[in-house]
Amino acid sequence: MEDNNIKNLIDDIREQNEVERKYLKKQLNMMKALMFAMAGIFLTILIAVAVLVPKLALTLDNANVALEQISYTANQMDDVLISVESLVEDSSEEVTRALENMNSIDFEKLNKSIDDFNSVISPLSDFFGRFK
């Protein structure tokens, strides 16, 4: 009987070993699948980095060139604004002088002079108008 019990125990251990071996094979297959998936993800990331890093460097170079051009243009705009400001100041002074000159004109005397000139020229105009 004891031999029978030992045999049953050994058979139970063998069955347990078989079940454990099946689970270990499944675990091994899952680990292999996981390893291939991780390798695929790693390769995808590596390729993406290899492709994107040069493009990113080129984009940064282009951005740097654009910023330099913007800086140069801004400096030129400063010069233009200074020139415009001096032009406005000069023309403002000239307009002020012109307004002062216009204010100094005696329009009553000017109108009287125009009337006097018209009275002198009118007979001459009539005289020369007859020769046409």
Q: How far apart are CA 13 and CA 8, in angstroms?
A: 9
Q: How far apart are CA 119 and CA 115, in angstroms?
A: 6
Dihedral, 86, 87, 91, 94 alpha carbons, nearest 10: 60
Q: What is the mean pLDDT of the chain?
A: 88
Taking only the tens place, the pLDDT of each residue in 88-128 is: 888 888 888 888 887 777 778 888 888 888 888 888 777 77
Question: Would you tell me how many other CB atoms lie within 10 Å of the CB of residue 51?
Answer: 10
pTM of the model as a whole = 0.43
Taking only the tens place, the pLDDT of each residue in 86-95 is: 888 888 888 8
Q: How far apart are CA 102 and CA 98, in angstroms?
A: 6
